[in-house]
Amino acid sequence: MKAVKYIAIVVAIALFAGFLSIMFLPVDTFLAEKKAKLAGYEIPEAYEDALYRYYYNNLNADEQLAYRIIYSSFFAKPEEEFPDKIVIPKLSNNELQEMYVALSYDNPEFYFLGNKCSMTSIGSVNYFVPQYLMVRSDYDASWAKASAKINEILAGAPASTASDYDKELYIHDYLVQNCEYNESGSAMVYTMHGVLVDGSANCEGYSRTAQYLLRQLGIYNRLAIGVAEGGTGTADGHMWNVVKIDGEFYNLDITWDDYAVVGSVDYPDNSPSHVYFNISTKDIKSSHKADDDAVWSECKADSFGYFKNEGLLFSSFNYSSESAVSQAMLKAMNNGYNSIELAFTDKSVMDSSYNRLMNGGMYNIIVSNNGLVAPANRLSPTTVQYTIDEEKQIIRYFFEK
């Protein structure tokens, strides 16, 4: 009989504990999920594209559920306005902030959201209250224009069988050539709309658009948020991408590869720079600092893969090197560009190259190539400017058309 009593007591305790857990512990998550489903939201248990959701993957269980509910609620009823409030599990202020940051950083297309949000409670039900920058009709109109441009860009991308490097290079070069840096403070410069529709954006616009486009091409990437100092002595807030290319992680800063930002020469062209295309954390940390070291800690592979692949990374400089420069210059001229960028393994090689090219070598290259290109693409062999990155040992030459 005692055994039966003990069993009955254990069962009673278990039932009471279950009652308490339903009444008090998970009621927030239970109500949030139930109300969301009753509202017609399709809430996945997990994301098929979870690999790309770096910030979501770093959330706790309640934060992840809130993220999934909110994500689903925005487009559950496209015929209606964005919801004023959304039922979610109860989160602390810090958890709410972490969740909202993840929702923003993982989803660059959510540019209808502002930077602020809040949470309010009515009885035992907790609501997420978002801030919107635009009403749904305005967002739908904006996204339709952005989507048309996205489809156009992706249609011109390398074939699916191409390397990750080629796909990434295509997106990088397209954004540099088709967007101008703008730090006006207008809301759109922070968004994909700014890049794709207006052709004008700041670092956040560049990075978020690259994030979306690279993802569409199957290339893993995530946003890196921190500060950068461009030689002014002042570090400003900055955003760039961390990408995984052919199994290796790199920093990719498309904004800093847009030479229109620098404006340091009299006749720049629209060709992209590649100094910050696939660069290690070791090589970029002198100017950049991520808020979270984990975001860029995996970027350990050697930098400057672009220069290696294009035959423009020199460990010595001789006649064959000059021939490689000539071929690269011819390619640039045929594309209508008037600049070329060269990288070197050490300063002595860079100095040797500079002396050779500036003492007749580059003049001969331009004169020879002028006879091989259309008249509109010919360059002056006597007028040249250059920029030198002493730290990274890169020289870029600019010529007058």
Per-residue model confidence as pLDDT tens for the chain (401 residues): 444 444 444 434 444 444 444 444 445 666 666 666 666 667 788 888 888 999 999 999 999 999 999 999 998 888 899 999 999 999 999 999 999 999 999 999 999 999 999 999 888 789 999 999 999 999 999 999 999 999 999 999 999 999 999 999 999 999 999 999 998 878 999 999 999 999 999 999 999 999 999 999 999 999 999 999 977 778 999 999 999 999 999 999 999 998 654 556 777 788 899 999 999 999 999 999 999 999 999 999 999 889 999 999 999 999 999 999 999 999 999 999 999 999 999 999 999 999 999 999 999 999 999 999 999 999 999 999 998 999 999 999 999 99
Residue type, 12: A
Q: Which helix (H) or strand (E) holds 275?
A: none
What whole-number distance in Å separates Cα of residue 112 and Cα of residue 157? 27
- Measure Cα distances from 191 to 45, 72, 239 in Å: 29, 21, 12
Tokens standing for residue 276: 């910050």
What whole-number distance in Å separates Cα of residue 381 and Cα of residue 400? 8
Instruction: Provide the CA 327 distance to its chain's centre, in angstroms.
Output: 32
Residue labelled with tokens 């294009």:
310
Looking at residue 222, what DSSP letter applies? E
CB 221, CB 215: distance < 8 Å:
yes
Looking at residue 259, what DSSP letter applies? G
What are the structural domains, with CATH classification, of the chain? 20-133 (no CATH), 135-308 (3.10.620), 310-401 (3.30.110)
pLDDT of residue 266: 79
Helix (H, G, I), strand (E, B) or coil at 87: strand
Q: Is the dihedral of CA 22, 24, 29, 31 positive or negative?
A: positive
Residue type, 117: C
Rounded to the nearest 10°, the torsion over CA 190, 192, 195, 201 is: 0
What whole-number distance in Å separates Cα of residue 113 and Cα of residue 104? 8
Q: What is the pTM of this model?
A: 0.88
Sheet containing strand 113-122, strands side by side: 86-87, 125-132, 113-122
Q: Where are the alpha helices (DSSP H) in 87-135?
A: 93-106
